[in-house]
């Protein structure tokens, strides 16, 4: 059960950035002005390795502000790491508390290390009782984020898009979190393998990501580290959101402060002041950018230049790589990567966006699109729109944009119109879409045993409060 040091690389961040720069220069024209995902992932990974071997003057100190959530009321905890921890574990429910009395090695056989993060390592283990394999994340005590991560995972566990927490074992120096194993690896690796995703595939992956983000927000949790490295894939190919190390609870109308996130994905308001759950929408927009065109939108040779780009670069979704992307997809991403937080759409609105609906609704998916005559096409669309009328029509403002008129406008297209043309036709309607601010549902309003324990155990320790 000992942690294995992954690799022995001791490069500094500067070296990595130099390497990234030279490998960048060798890439094709499309990639000249961008870090590729591989570059970014390598930079990030090596920085983590530096962080564990060179705590001072390495990447850790340079990334500390952004990559690690500021501990809430951490000073006393950090000064005496052991104090208060027992009380804090009280936020873990009855099922997981059983782990406190037993040792993990009594119940699980340890396997190889499968990942390493900022706060600990992740390794495989097998239940002695059932033979089922799990992933175990071992977190060193001492950071309040560790307790928050356990509590939030417990709070969210049960949703199909969240990695399920099976048990927690507490030792003097660490916690072991026994989680559902996601053997399909990370979304980032799939993205690198597949490069640009077909829009249909991208939309289906992205919808699942947004469903879980919406769930987090409905449950009063801001993840703060949405990125493809933190999206894992199950044996059946479903996505699961993992790594709640930077997640915090937020109550309705509350704002957060403090740098937290991963540089390329961080929202501009995190860099400049107070923020809300909308930071997850921005990060998901960065992810969508990478899914659609294979590169990250905000890049630079240093952290400062990445942040500068996040704050100021004006993205142009009409040129270059975006020319082959449908207008609705571009419309969605522009609504997510908007710096005006009040104009940035919510998770619910993303899920109701025509691009998502078009590619992911069952009827639309099986919709025959090629070789339709004008009338057939118009009629089929009218039927589809009718069956989705309530959801899609709700997005449109004004009499002229009723589903029937959308069908009419689509029926004027050529007989040879293909799928992407049809998606583009949706753009006509999208230009009139009014996405209204929906009433935020149940932020920080959980019920049940966890909430009862939370209020009794944690109010005084700030564990469940946002920073």
Give the active site residues. Answer: 225
Beta-strand pair 165-170/174-180: antiparallel
Given phi > 0 = left and psi -120 to 50 = alpha, else beta, which region is 135? beta
Question: Whose Cβ is closer to ligand ATP: residue 152's or residue 293's?
Answer: 152
DSSP per residue over 255-275, as a string?
A: -B-S--S-GGG--HHHHHS-B
Q: Which is nearer to ligand ATP, 119 or 175 (CB)?
A: 119
174 binds ligand ATP (CB under 6 A): no
Of 191, 219, 242, 395, which one interacts with ligand ATP (CB under 6 A)?
242
Q: Is 21 annotated as a binding residue?
A: no
Nearest distance from residue 114's CB to ligand ATP, in Å? Answer: 5
Report in angstroms how near the CB of residue 36 gets to ligand ATP at its nearest.
19
Residues, the chain, total? 467
Burial 101-111 (b: 16+ CB within 10 A, else e): eeebeebbeeb
Q: Which residues of 54-75 are buried (b: 16+ CB within 10 A; e: fewer)?
A: eeeebbbebbeebbbbbbbebe
135 binds ligand ATP (CB under 6 A): yes
What one-character-per-residue DSSP string does 129-180 give? Answer: TT--EEEEEEEETT-HHHHHHHHHHHHHTTSTTBPPEEEEEE-SSEEEEEEE
Rule CB under 6 A: choose which of 20, 138, 230, 346 binds ligand ATP. 230
Contact range with ligand ATP by CB under 6 A, out of 7-15, 115-123, 279-287, 399-407: 115-123
Instruction: Tell me how far apart the alpha carbons of residues 354 and 334 are, in angstroms, rounded to a whole number.
Output: 14
**CB atoms near residue 457 (< 10 Å):** 18
CB of 186 to ligand ATP, least distance (A): 5
Q: Return the range that interacts with ligand ATP (CB under 6 A); candidates 113-121, 253-261, 266-274, 329-337.
A: 113-121
CA angle 113, 115, 116 (to 5 degrees): 105
CA distance 68 to 62: 11
Angstrom distance (rounded) from CA 13 to CA 195 = 26
User: Pick from 107, 170, 229, 349: which binds ligand ATP (CB under 6 A)?
Assistant: 229
Question: What is the SS3 assignment for 69?
Answer: coil
Residue of the chain from 41, 59, 66, 179 that contacts ligand ATP (CB under 6 A): 179
Q: Write the CB contacts of 330 (distance below 8 Å, at least 6 apart in sequence).
A: 317, 318, 322
- The only residue of 36, 41, 85, 115 in contact with ligand ATP, by rule CB under 6 A: 115
In 10 A of CB 186, how many CB atoms?
Answer: 20
Distance CA 246, CA 261 (A): 7
Where do we find the tokens 């979704």?
A: 317
Among 99, 245, 268, 328, binds ligand ATP (CB under 6 A): 245
CB nearest ligand ATP: which residue? 117
Closer residue to ligand ATP in complex, CB, 214/224: 224
Using the minimum distance from each CB to ligand ATP, give the nearer residue, 143 or 277: 143
Position 153 contacts ligand ATP (CB under 6 A): no
Q: Toward ligand ATP, which CB reaches closer, 242 or 250?
A: 242
- Residue 243 binds ligand ATP (CB under 6 A): yes
Question: Within 13 A of 250's CA, how many CA atoms are on the CB side?
Answer: 25
Using the rule CB under 6 A, is 148 a contact of ligand ATP? no
Give the three-state DSSP class for 55.
coil
Strands 165-170 and 133-140, how do they pair? unpaired
Residue 182 interacting with ligand ATP (CB under 6 A): yes
**Residue 232 interacts with ligand ATP (CB under 6 A)?**
yes
Which one of 53-61, 193-201, 225-233, 265-273 is the stretch in contact with ligand ATP (CB under 6 A)? 225-233
Is residue 204 a contact partner of residue 128, using CB atoms and an 8 Å limit? no
Number of residues located near ligand ATP, criterion CB under 6 A: 22
- Asked if residue 99 binds ligand ATP (CB under 6 A), the reply is no
Piece of 54-62, 177-185, 308-316, 402-410 that binds ligand ATP (CB under 6 A)? 177-185
Q: Any bridge partners for residue 127, and if so which? A: 108
Answer yes or no whether residue 122 interacts with ligand ATP by CB under 6 A: yes
CA distance 27 to 34: 9
Token digits of residue 163: 């990695």
Closest CA to 219 of 150, 155, 283, 162: 155
Q: Which is nearer to ligand ATP, 199 or 225 (CB)?
A: 225
- Closer CB to ligand ATP, residue 203 or residue 267? 267
Give the contact letters, 2-41, x = binds to ligand ATP (CB under 6 A), - = no.
----------------------------------------
Cα–Cα distance for residue pair 59/318, rounded to 1 Å: 36
Q: Find the binder of ligand ATP among 118, 155, 190, 289 (CB under 6 A).
A: 118
Smallest distance from ligand ATP to CB 136, Å: 9
Looking at beta carbons only, is 187 or 401 nearer to ligand ATP?
187
Binding residues are: 137
Binding residues for ATP are: 137
What residue ranges bind ligand ATP (CB under 6 A)?
A: 48, 114-115, 117-120, 122, 135, 137, 163, 179-182, 186, 229-230, 232, 242-243, 245
């Amino acid at each position: 059960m000992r942690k294995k040091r992954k690799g022995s690389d001791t490069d500094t961040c500067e070296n990595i950035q130099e390497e990234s720069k030279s490998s960048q220069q060798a890439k094709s024209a499309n990639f000249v002005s961008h870090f590729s995902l591989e570059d970014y992932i390598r930079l990030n990974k090596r920085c983590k390795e530096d962080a564990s071997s060179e705590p001072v003057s390495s990447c850790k100190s340079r990334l500390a502000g952004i990559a690690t959530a500021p501990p809430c009321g951490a000073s006393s905890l950090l000064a005496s790491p052991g104090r208060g921890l027992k009380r804090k574990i009280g936020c873990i429910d009855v099922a997981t508390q059983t782990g406190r009395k037993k040792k993990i090695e009594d119940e699980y056989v340890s396997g190889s290390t499968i990942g390493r993060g900022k706060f600990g390592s992740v390794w495989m283990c097998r239940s002695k009782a059932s033979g089922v394999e799990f992933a175990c994340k071992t977190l060193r005590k001492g950071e309040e984020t560790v307790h928050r991560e356990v509590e939030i995972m417990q709070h969210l566990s049960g949703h199909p898009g969240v990695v399920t927490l099976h048990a927690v074992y507490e030792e003097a120096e660490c916690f072991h979190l026994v989680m559902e194993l996601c053997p399909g690896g990370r979304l980032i690796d799939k993205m690198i393998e597949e490069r640009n995703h077909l829009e249909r595939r991208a939309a289906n992956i992205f919808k699942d990501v947004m469903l879980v983000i919406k769930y987090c927000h409905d449950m009063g949790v801001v993840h703060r580290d949405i990125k493809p490295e933190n999206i894992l894939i199950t044996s059946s190919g479903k996505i699961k959101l993992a790594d709640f190390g930077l997640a915090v609870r937020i109550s309705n109308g509350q704002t957060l402060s403090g740098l937290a996130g991963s540089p390329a994905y961080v929202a501009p308001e995190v860099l400049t002041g107070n923020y809300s759950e909308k930071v997850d929408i921005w990060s998901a927009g960065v992810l969508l950018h990478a899914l659609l065109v294979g590169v990250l939108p905000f890049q630079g040779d240093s952290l400062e230049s990445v942040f500068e780009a996040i704050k100021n670069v004006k993205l142009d979704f009409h040129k270059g790589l975006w020319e082959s992307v449908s207008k609705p997809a571009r419309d969605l991403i522009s609504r997510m990567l908007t710096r005006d937080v009040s104009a940035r759409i919510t998770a619910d609105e993303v899920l109701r966006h025509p691009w998502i609906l078009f590619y992911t609704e069952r009827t639309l998916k099986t919709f025959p699109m090629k070789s339709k005559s004008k009338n057939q096409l118009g009629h089929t669309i009218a039927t589809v729109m009718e069956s989705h009328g309530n959801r899609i029509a709700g997005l449109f403002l004004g009499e002229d944009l009723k589903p029937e008129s959308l069908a009419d406008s689509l029926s004027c297209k050529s007989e040879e119109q293909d799928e992407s043309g049809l998606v583009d036709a949706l753009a006509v309607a999208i230009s009139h879409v009014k996405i209204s601010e929906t009433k935020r549902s149940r932020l920080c309003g959980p019920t049940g045993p966890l909430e009862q324990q939370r209020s009794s155990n944690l109010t005084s320790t700030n564990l469940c409060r946002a920073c």
